[in-house]
Amino acid sequence: MKIKIFLLLAFSLNSCAQNSNKSDFKKSDVPKEYQDLLINIETLKTGMISYMNEANPDYTEKDVNQCVVILQSYILEIAKSNSKKDGIEIIKSKIQELNELNKKCGDQLIETGEREQIAEIIISAGYKKGYNQKDEDITEQWREW
């Protein structure tokens, strides 16, 4: 009986957490030339959650979902931007959001592998807009991870 109650409670809490992490993001809002980056974000998410389930890091699935939301909103905003100046401000803002999220997670959410994946997503989106070179790390000056 106790196990059933525990499982029911765990399922309920997980459902609530998942619902509270959903954004108004729609894949159809993302221009076709950025769709590949959505796959990269999903790959990143899968890896983070897999690690979380194997180890005991200082972050939760809610934190992983927040990271995903930041990256998804970055793609939408950068795709809609009209100037390099605006694009750089978007990049800076999103990097700062990721810095804060990572700090909140004891600097464990974004480690070497995640850093490489996140930087690649940000750099690729900027490159697609013509704001940076393909091999130019435009995240470096603001990121703390």
User: Could you tell me the residue ranges of all domains in the chain?
Assistant: 2-129
CA-CA distance, 126 to 132, in Å (whole number)? 6
| Tokens 């998942």 -> residue | 18
Over residues 53-79, mean pLDDT: 96
**Angle at 22 (CA atoms; ends 19, 23), nearest 5 degrees:** 150
Of 129, 67, 78, the closest CA to residue 102 belongs to 67
Is residue 23 very low, low, confident or very high in pLDDT (cuts 50, 70, 90)?
low
> Is 131's pLDDT higher than 60?
yes
pLDDT single digits (tens) 61-73 = 999 999 999 999 9
CB 107 within 8 A of CB 145: yes
pLDDT single digits (tens) 109-130 = 999 999 999 999 999 999 999 9
Residue ranges in the chain assigned as alpha helix (H) = 2-20, 35-54, 61-80, 84-104, 112-129
CB 58 within 8 A of CB 106: yes
| pTM, rounded to two decimals | 0.82
pLDDT of residue 65: 97
CA-CA distance, 97 to 134, in Å (whole number)? 23
